[in-house]
């Protein structure tokens, strides 16, 4: 599932203001909106604002799903399914709308692993209760930054588990905004500062894994190096760095990193297996290289043809 661009609101403005009329938001039939009750005019939320909604969903068989009396999320930050993110951006405060979300913008081919099956179309009723500005990060206390940052990290993990690595990276980057010690105060305890640092390094490690999946190896290398600058013996980061540099064509460095990881964690089966595989691959490549050089040497050292008596033949020329 790939991230989507926000639809051009100018193209759907007139339709969505008509109460009781269904609007096909993207023209694909996958996302429809019907205004049940108009809200306060010109109060639509903008990206990064905090939206509080009342929401209830219904599957085709009538089963209720995603029921929340009061749920808050940051608009455009991938904290909800894409259909809800797109629709709430088109609602005024206190508006009530019905929304039909097809699988493409809901839970897709995987479902949610609980009560929503794969390829489900969901009919939602949404009321936009409140919209508020995002609090400036320097004003957010450390406990709240830990809570929000880890929530965004978990959301990144959710997108990663669904194979949407681009969305997971976006969530991880937002998590890093909150899991930062630059805004520390005199009242922040050393334990809390260490906790926020540890969680920040978890995000970098996870982001490296997602960046590797989309073959953004330079970015992934920077992510693991951020971990290793603070925790030089972090086995997970060392292991991932070995995968990254190997993919970048540096097999020898990859092997050295795996040997280091195995020294730190001798019981790791996956490190053992990858090390044996790389060593075997390196040995095979060395053999191929030797064979190539041997062929080249033999080709350049071809002896001159000889007579039956073993004397070199003399080529006669006519002038």
pLDDT tens digit sequence for 45-66: 999 999 999 999 999 999 999 9
Largest CA distance in the chain: 109
- Short-list 93, 106, 119, CA closest to 31: 106
Using CA atoms, how far apart are residues 181 and 203, in angstroms rounded to an integer? 14
pLDDT bin (cut points 50, 70, 90) of residue 180 is: confident
Using CA atoms, how far apart are residues 266 and 259, in angstroms rounded to an integer? 10
Q: Given this model, what pLDDT does residue 293 score? A: 72
Using CA atoms, how far apart are residues 285 and 61, in angstroms rounded to an integer? 59
Mean pLDDT of 217-221: 97
Same domain (yes/no): 106, 155? no
Same domain (yes/no): 61, 129? yes
Kind and range of the H or E run holding 74: strand 64-74
> Distance between the two ends of the chain, CA-based, in angstroms?
78
- Beta pairing partners, 33: 23, 99
pLDDT cut 70: percent of the chain above it:
85
319 domain residue, yes or no:
no
Same domain (yes/no): 241, 177? no
Number of domains observed in the structure of the chain = 3
Q: Worst-scoring range by mean pLDDT, 113-122, 133-142, 254-263?
A: 133-142
Is the CB of residue 103 less than 8 Å from the CB of residue 95? no
303 domain residue, yes or no:
no
Is the CB of residue 109 less than 8 Å from the CB of residue 55? no
The residue behind tokens 């991880």 is: 172
Mean pLDDT across the chain, nearest whole number? 88
Beginning with the edge strand found earlier in the chain, give each strand of the sheet holding 31-37 in spatial order. 22-24, 31-37, 96-101, 122-132, 50-58, 64-74
Residue 316 has pLDDT above 60, yes or no: no
Classify residue 111 by burial, with Cβ atoms within 10 Å: 0-12, 13-18, 19+: middle
31 domain residue, yes or no:
yes
Q: Given this model, what pLDDT does residue 307 score? A: 57
Same domain (yes/no): 219, 242? no
Residue 304 gets which letter from DSSP? P
Is the CB of residue 124 less than 8 Å from the CB of residue 55? yes
Mean pLDDT of 72-83: 96
Q: Given this model, what pLDDT does residue 4 score? A: 44
Same domain (yes/no): 242, 265? yes
What is the CATH number for 172?
1.25.40.10
42-46 contact pairs (CB < 8 A, 24+): 42/92, 43/92, 43/93, 43/94, 43/131, 44/89, 44/90, 44/91, 44/92, 45/75, 45/88, 45/89, 45/91, 45/93, 45/128, 45/131, 46/75, 46/89
Q: Given this model, what pLDDT does residue 246 score? A: 95
Q: Given this model, what pLDDT does residue 182 score? A: 72
- Short-list 284, 278, 247, CA closest to 261: 278
Same domain (yes/no): 123, 25? yes
* Domain limits for position 220: 135-182+191-229
Coarse DSSP helix, strand, coil percentages of the chain, rounded to the nearest 5 percent: 45, 15, 35
Q: Is the dihedral of CA 145, 151, 155, 157 positive or negative?
A: positive
296 domain residue, yes or no:
no
Same domain (yes/no): 123, 157? no
Q: Worst-scoring range by mean pLDDT, 118-127, 212-221, 258-267, 285-294?
A: 285-294
Q: Given this model, what pLDDT does residue 96 score? A: 97
Residue 176 has pLDDT above 90, yes or no: yes
304 domain residue, yes or no:
no
State the pTM of this model. Answer: 0.81
User: When comparing pLDDT for 18 and 166, which is higher?
Assistant: 166
Q: Given this model, what pLDDT does residue 18 score? A: 60
Q: Given this model, what pLDDT does residue 220 score? A: 98
Q: Mind listing the pLDDT tens digit for each residue in 145-162?
A: 999 999 999 999 999 999
Q: Residue 92 has which token pair?
A: 């005024």
310 domain residue, yes or no:
no
Q: Given this model, what pLDDT does residue 203 score? A: 97
312 domain residue, yes or no:
no
Same domain (yes/no): 143, 253? no
Mean pLDDT of 279-304: 74
């Amino acid at each position: 599932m790939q991230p989507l661009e926000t639809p051009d609101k100018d193209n759907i403005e007139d339709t969505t203001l008509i109460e009781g009329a269904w609007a096909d938001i993207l023209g694909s039939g996958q996302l429809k909106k019907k205004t049940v009750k108009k809200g306060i005019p010109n109060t639509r939320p903008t990206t990064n604002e905090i939206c509080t909604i009342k929401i209830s969903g219904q599957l085709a068989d009538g089963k209720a799903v995603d029921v929340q009396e009061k749920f808050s999320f940051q608009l455009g930050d991938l904290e909800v399914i894409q259909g809800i993110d797109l629709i709430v951006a088109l609602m005024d405060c206190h508006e009530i709308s019905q929304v039909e979300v097809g699988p493409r913008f809901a839970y897709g081919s995987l479902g949610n692993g609980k009560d929503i099956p794969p390829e489900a179309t969901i009919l939602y009723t949404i009321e936009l209760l409140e919209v508020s500005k995002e609090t400036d990060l320097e004003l957010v206390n450390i406990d709240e930054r830990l809570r929000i940052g880890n929530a965004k990290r978990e959301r990144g993990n959710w997108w990663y588990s669904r194979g949407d690595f681009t969305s997971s990276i976006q969530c991880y980057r937002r998590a890093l905004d909150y899991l930062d010690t630059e805004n520390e105060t005199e009242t922040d305890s050393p334990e809390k500062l260490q906790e926020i640092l540890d969680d920040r390094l978890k995000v970098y490690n996870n982001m490296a894994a997602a960046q590797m999946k989309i073959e953004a190896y330079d970015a992934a290398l920077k992510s693991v190096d951020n971990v290793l600058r603070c925790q030089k013996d972090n086995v997970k980061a060392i292991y991932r760095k070995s995968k990254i540099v190997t993919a970048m064509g540096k097999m020898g460095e990859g092997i050295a990193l795996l040997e280091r990881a195995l020294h730190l964690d001798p019981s790791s089966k996956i490190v053992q297996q990858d090390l044996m595989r790389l060593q075997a691959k390196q040995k095979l490549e060395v053999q191929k290289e030797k064979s190539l050089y041997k062929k080249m040497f033999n080709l350049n050292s071809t002896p001159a043809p000889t007579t039956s008596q073993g004397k070199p033949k003399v080529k006669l020329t006519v002038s």
